[in-house]
């Protein structure tokens, strides 16, 4: 039996700045995890990943586990939580960007 | 030190221009990421978790004050005001924008630096003993040979597409400070019975997922045969190395699968062919390079003030006891400037610190600076009478920590704070261990101890050769830390032994504390180091300290 599909988001790094970006439902790349499209269907996920791979401004798009949260999708794995925040040794990256949510 | 010839300068400029054009084509969409990736890797550009990363070579760990200031300038202009010195004598900038990288490479070229072959399946930056040219135990300065290897390997057409990366380390002293036994080729200078200098050639060492201590394929290779011999090793590896499986592609696996005897036979056969072709050109070039590495004119001055200062100032004394090493001239010392202030990130230096180091090397150190694989900075030639002044100038800068070789002098890879391959964080673990033992005021009592931390099985933090090694893993979506004990990266190299099941993120520091308590209790006297005690006692008592509940369970 194949494992049940769990919800995903699509994330990548920005081509120019290299920072973490998320694919939104309206085909934009957002800096905010909570604005990502939460994908709950496996076939749709594969299609969206193809869309993402075609995007010129995104590098290395992949599907990451996510769950529904109060203000939008939240990361499941600690790796995605770190990507959403930035490094733990300095206040750098997303955690200090002015419009961080 | 060696300065670029016109050829070198032109080569680096041409490569910078070439890469700038490749970046432009990537941004315009003319190159896909798959097409661009091999180009960027050839020029030291990675994409990490939060940003691009640029890895700049500090060949054989040698850098001059002008270059250090250029690194500071790059950190301020294009990054976040700091750089990270690594176990392979490189510096990494963690936040450059892709669009800025060509300008950074151009700034580097201005001072004779580059990022060529700091990544990719090529011969990487050749690393050397960080005390090279100064150490009391040295036979010869190994850096001219390292420079020869750099010139030979840079853009060598035969070795641009090796089965996998290839790392060479070299030391000019019998005491191995360059971890030569854990490199694809390790070169350790020795003398033969007649007293002539040559190399023990060690092949097939490596860490990563399959840690292997290299095999000695030649006990004594005359110095003059070095380059054809190294080329023979590369040539055999290039032919036999497995290209079908990335995890089996390093020469250590070739060694394992082919066997030392057969591999040696192939190397020797190829060596005979190649030596004939070299025709002495390599030796002529080496002679030129050697001239560029002439030692500084050491000065003569009264040393009495040093002794008086040492007696009078306990803070200076503590620093002198840990951070100085013997120089070949008895009136000089090798100074290690610690980049391991308790609680800070191992190996990071701010731009202000880089500038201070550059200034101090000019004031007190004959303008020489080295970077160690242990992620510290070395001033290799400081006169005894200058040590108090140097120490005073370091105070307050965050560079005055007296902890070299102690428990807080930790090697840590970037781990999951930066690295896309990581399975767990390593930096905060290092920070917490250092902070904890500083609170306990125990580290000088504990004495020499090397803790090394990697954030995944690639082992960039050398955990296998740490007296205490810590490997961060992902166990079912949670960070988990495995401990290895008894590793050694010197001439008596040993891969550490796994102690048992791993520890959660918040359990790892207490686990290390129990381990150290067990050592302090069991050591014969204060002179017996952790590693010596481990060798005498074996895993048993340390395992019992790490897993106290297990003992209870067995006793019940
Ligand atoms: C973008 C960051 C990095 C990446 C992608 C990376 C990748 C890797 C990989 C894949 C290996 C295993 C090679 C193998 O077993 O075939 C490795 C080994 C190693 N890396 Fe890194 N690394 C990174 C950062 C670093 C840093 C920061 C250092 C120095 C502090 C470093 C030094 C080493 C060393 C010493 C080894 C083990 C020796 C060996 O090659 O067997 N790496 N690295
Ligand atoms: S050991 Fe792993 S986590 Fe650490 S730098 Fe190397 S690849 Fe990254």
Q: DSSP string covering B402-451, please?
A: --TTSTT--EE--GGGT-TT-SS--HHHHHHHHHHHHHHT-HHHH-S--E
Scanning B353-392 for CB atoms below 8 A from A yields none
Q: What percentage of residues in chain A have a pLDDT greater than 70?
A: 94
**Chain centre to alpha carbon of residue B287:** 27
Which residue spans of chain B are classified as CATH 3.30.70?
Answer: 6-110, 313-394
Q: Report CB contact under 8 Å: B427, A87.
A: yes
* Residue B435 at interface with chain A, using a CB cutoff of 8 Å: no
| Distance of alpha carbon B270 from alpha carbon B357, whole angstroms | 45
- Give the strand order in the sheet containing B45-47: B45-47, B52-57, B90-93, B82-85, B348-350
Domain count, chain A: 1
| Per-residue pLDDT reduced to its tens digit, B198-238 | 999 999 999 999 999 999 999 999 999 999 999 999 999 99
Contacts of B418 (CB under 8 A, 6+ apart): A87, B48, B49, B50, B53, B94
From the candidate CATH numbers 3.30.70, 3.40.50, 3.30.750, 2.170.270, the one assigned to the domain spanning B6-110: 3.30.70
B363: pLDDT strictly greater than 60: yes
B85: pLDDT strictly greater than 90: yes
> What average pLDDT is seen over chain B?
95
The ipTM estimated for the assembled molecules is: 0.94
Closest residue by CA, ligand 1 atom 21: B460
Residues of A in contact with B431 (CB under 8 A): 89
Q: Which ligand is nearest to the CA of B182?
A: 1
By Cβ distance, the residue of B26, B50, B478 closest to A93 is B50
> How close, in Å, is residue B289 to chain A by CA atoms?
40
With a 6 A CB cut-off, is B469 part of the ligand 2 pocket? no
Which residue spans of chain B are classified as CATH 3.30.413.10?
Answer: 142-292, 411-555
Q: Report CB contact under 8 Å: A82, B428.
A: no
A25: pLDDT strictly greater than 90: yes
User: And the tokens for B249?
Assistant: 């592609």
DSSP for residue B29: T
Residue among B535, B27, B106 nearest A16 (CA) = B27
Residues of B in contact with A13 (CB under 8 A): 47, 51
Residue A39 lies in a domain: yes
Q: Which residue of A has its CA nearest to B82?
A: A90
Residues of B in contact with A86 (CB under 8 A): 50
Q: Report CB contact under 8 Å: B417, A88.
A: yes
* Residue A19 at interface with chain B, using a CB cutoff of 8 Å: yes
Q: Report CB contact under 8 Å: B416, A82.
A: yes
When pLDDT is averaged across residues B88-111 and rounded to a whole number, the result is 96
Residue A99 lies in a domain: no
> How close, in Å, is residue B17 to chain A by CA atoms?
19
Residue A84 lies in a domain: yes
Structural domain that includes position A21: 8-90
Residue among B244, B278, B239 nearest B262 (CA) = B239
Query: What CATH number does the domain located at B142-292 have?
Result: 3.30.413.10
Contacts of B388 (CB under 8 A, 6+ apart): B305, B306, B309, B313, B316
B174: pLDDT strictly greater than 90: no
Q: Report CB contact under 8 Å: A56, B29.
A: yes
Q: Which residue of B has its CA nearest to A87?
A: B417
Query: What CATH number does the domain located at B313-394 have?
Result: 3.30.70
- Rounded alpha-carbon distances, angstroms, from residue B130 to B13, B305, B335, B467, B528: 28, 28, 11, 20, 26
Which atom of ligand 1 lies closest to the CA of B411? 30
Res B5: pLDDT: 87
Res B1: pLDDT: 72
Query: What CATH number does the domain located at B411-555 have?
Result: 3.30.413.10
| Distance of alpha carbon B344 from alpha carbon B435, whole angstroms | 9
Q: What percentage of residues in chain B have a pLDDT greater than 70?
A: 99
Scanning B33-72 for CB atoms below 8 A from A yields 33, 47-52
Residue B324 contacts residue B334 (beta carbons within 8 Å): yes
B55, B124, B421, best to mutate for ligand 2 pocket (most atoms within 8 Å of CB): B421
When pLDDT is averaged across residues B6-19 and rounded to a whole number, the result is 93
Q: Is the dihedral of CA B5, B65, B113, B102 positive or negative?
A: negative
Contacts of B157 (CB under 8 A, 6+ apart): none
> How close, in Å, is residue A6 to chain B by CA atoms?
15
Instruction: Give the pLDDT band (50/70/90) at residue B286.
Output: very high
Residue among B357, B362, B344 nearest B394 (CA) = B357
Residue B202 contacts residue B217 (beta carbons within 8 Å): yes
Residue among A89, A84, A79 nearest B412 (CA) = A89
Q: Which ligand is nearest to the CA of B208?
A: 1
B206 C-alpha to ligand 2 centroid (Å): 14
- The Cβ of residue B494 has, within 10 Å, a number of other Cβ atoms equal to 17
- Give the strand order in the sheet containing B127-128: B127-128, B168-171, B185-191, B197-203, B215-222
> How close, in Å, is residue A20 to chain B by CA atoms?
6
Q: Is the dihedral of CA B401, B495, B490, B536 positive or negative?
A: positive
Res A98: pLDDT: 63
- The Cβ of residue A81 has, within 10 Å, a number of other Cβ atoms equal to 12
Q: Which ligand is nearest to the CA of A79?
A: 2
Strand partners, B397: none
Res B404: pLDDT: 97
> How close, in Å, is residue B265 to chain A by CA atoms?
44
| Distance of alpha carbon B436 from alpha carbon B441, whole angstroms | 9
**pTM (predicted TM-score):** 0.94
Q: Report CB contact under 8 Å: A59, B47.
A: yes
Res A1: pLDDT: 47
- Rounded alpha-carbon distances, angstroms, from residue B210 to B204, B450, B456, B553: 11, 21, 13, 33
| Distance of alpha carbon B108 from alpha carbon B100, whole angstroms | 12
B237, B460, B465, best to mutate for ligand 1 pocket (most atoms within 8 Å of CB): B460
| Per-residue pLDDT reduced to its tens digit, A31-68 | 999 999 999 999 999 999 999 999 999 999 999 999 99
Scanning A25-84 for CB atoms below 8 A from B yields 56, 59-60, 76-79, 82-83
With a 6 A CB cut-off, is B334 part of the ligand 1 pocket? no
| Distance of alpha carbon B436 from alpha carbon B446, whole angstroms | 13
Q: What secondary structure does DSSP assign to B268-285, as a single string?
A: HHHHHHHHHHHTTHHHHH
User: And the tokens for B144?
Assistant: 């001219």
């Amino acid at each position: 039996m194949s494992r049940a599909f769990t919800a995903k988001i699509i994330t990548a790094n920005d081509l120019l700045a290299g920072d973490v970006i998320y694919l939104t439902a309206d085909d934009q790349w957002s800096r905010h995890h909570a604005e990502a499209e939460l994908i709950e269907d496996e076939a749709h996920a594969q299609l969206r990943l193809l869309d993402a791979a075609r995007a010129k401004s995104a590098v290395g798009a992949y599907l990451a586990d996510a769950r529904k949260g109060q203000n939008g999708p939240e990361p499941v794995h600690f790796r995605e939580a770190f990507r959403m925040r930035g490094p733990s040794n300095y206040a750098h990256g997303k955690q200090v960007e002015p419009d961080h949510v | 030190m060696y300065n670029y010839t016109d050829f070198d300068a032109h080569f680096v400029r041409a490569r910078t221009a070439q890469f700038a054009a490749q970046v432009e084509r990537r941004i315009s969409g003319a190159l896909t990421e798959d097409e661009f990736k091999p180009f960027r890797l050839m020029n030291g550009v990675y994409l990490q978790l939060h940003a691009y990363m640029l890895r700049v070579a500090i060949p054989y760990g040698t850098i001059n004050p002008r270059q250090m200031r250029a690194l500071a300038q790059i950190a301020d202009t294009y990054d976040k005001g700091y750089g990270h010195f690594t176990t392979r004598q490189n510096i990494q900038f963690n936040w450059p924008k892709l669009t800025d990288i060509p300008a950074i490479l151009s700034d580097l070229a201005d001072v004779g630096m580059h990022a060529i072959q700091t990544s990719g399946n090529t011969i990487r930056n050749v690393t050397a003993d960080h005390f090279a040219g100064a150490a009391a135990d040295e036979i010869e300065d190994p850096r001219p040979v390292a420079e020869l290897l750099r010139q030979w390997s840079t853009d060598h057409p035969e070795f641009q597409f090796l089965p996998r990366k290839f790392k060479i380390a070299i030391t000019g002293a019998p005491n191995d400070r360059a971890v030569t036994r854990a490199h694809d080729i390790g070169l350790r200078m020795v003398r033969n019975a007649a007293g002539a200098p040559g190399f023990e050639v060690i092949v097939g060492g490596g860490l990563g997922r399959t840690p292997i201590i290299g095999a000695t394929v030649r006990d004594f290779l005359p110095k003059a045969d070095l380059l054809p011999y190294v080329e023979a090793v590369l040539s055999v590896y290039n032919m036999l190395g497995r290209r079908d499986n990335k995890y089996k592609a390093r020469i250590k696996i070739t060694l394992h699968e082919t066997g030392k005897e057969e591999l040696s036979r192939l190397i020797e056969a190829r060596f005979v062919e190649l030596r004939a072709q070299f025709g002495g050109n390599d030796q002529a070039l080496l002679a030129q390079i050697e001239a560029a590495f002439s030692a500084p004119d050491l000065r003569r001055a009264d040393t009495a003030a040093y002794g008086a200062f040492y007696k009078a100032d306990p803070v200076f004394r503590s620093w002198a006891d840990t951070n100085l090493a013997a120089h070949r001239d008895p009136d000089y010392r090798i100074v290690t400037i610690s980049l391991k202030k308790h609680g800070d990130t191992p190996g990071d230096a701010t731009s202000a610190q880089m500038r201070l180091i550059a200034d101090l090397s000019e004031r007190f150190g004959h303008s020489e600076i080295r970077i160690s694989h242990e992620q510290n900075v070395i001033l290799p030639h400081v006169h005894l009478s200058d040590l108090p002044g140097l120490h005073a100038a370091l105070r307050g800068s965050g560079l005055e920590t007296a902890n070299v070789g102690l428990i807080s002098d930790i090697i840590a890879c970037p781990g999951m704070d930066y690295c896309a391959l990581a399975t767990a964080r390593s930096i905060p673990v290092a920070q917490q261990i250092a902070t904890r033992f500083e609170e306990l005021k125990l580290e000088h009592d504990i004495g020499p101890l090397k803790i090394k931390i990697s954030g995944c099985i690639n082992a960039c933090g050398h955990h296998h050769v740490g007296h205490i090694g810590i490997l961060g893993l992902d166990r079912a979506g949670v960070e988990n830390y495995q401990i290895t004990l008894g590793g050694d990266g010197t001439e008596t190299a040993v891969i550490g032994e796994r102690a048992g099941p791993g520890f959660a993120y918040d359990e790892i520091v207490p686990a290390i504390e129990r381990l150290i308590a067990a050592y302090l209790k069991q050591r014969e006297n204060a002179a017996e180091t952790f590693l010596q005690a481990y060798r005498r006692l074996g895993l048993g008592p340390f395992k019992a300290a790490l897993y106290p509940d297990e003992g209870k369970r067995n006793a019940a």
